[in-house]
Amino acid sequence: MSLHLFLVTGMVICSLAAVMAKRTIHAAIFLALLSILLAGVMFAANAPWAGVFELSVCAGLITVLFASAASMVGRGESYAKREAKIFRWLPLALLVFGIMVWWTAGPIFAPLFNAAAPNAGAPALMSVGDIIWKLRMPDLLGQLCIFVAGVLTVRTILGEGKDE
Partner 1 sequence: MNSLFTPENLQFNYFVALMMFFIGVYTMAASRNLIRLLIGLEITSKGCMLALISAGGAAGNMPTAQALLIIMISVEAVVVAVGLILIIRAFRQQGNIDPTKLSGLKG
Q: Within a 10 A sphere around the Cβ of 2, how many other Cβ atoms?
A: 7
Contact (CB, 8 A) for 27 and 46: no
- Name the minimum Å distance from CB 114 to partner 1: 5
- Name the minimum Å distance from CB 16 to partner 1: 6
Question: In whole angstroms, what separates CA 42 from the centre of its chain?
Answer: 12
As a whole number of angstroms, the distance between CA 92 and CA 81 comes to 19
Rg (CA), the chain: 21
Q: How far is CA 22 from CA 12, 33, 56, 89, in A?
A: 18, 17, 26, 15
**Helix, strand, coil share of the chain (percent; to 5):** 80, 0, 20
- Name the minimum Å distance from CB 55 to partner 1: 10
- Name the minimum Å distance from CB 51 to partner 1: 9
The one-letter amino acid code at 105 reads A
- Name the minimum Å distance from CB 155 to partner 1: 10
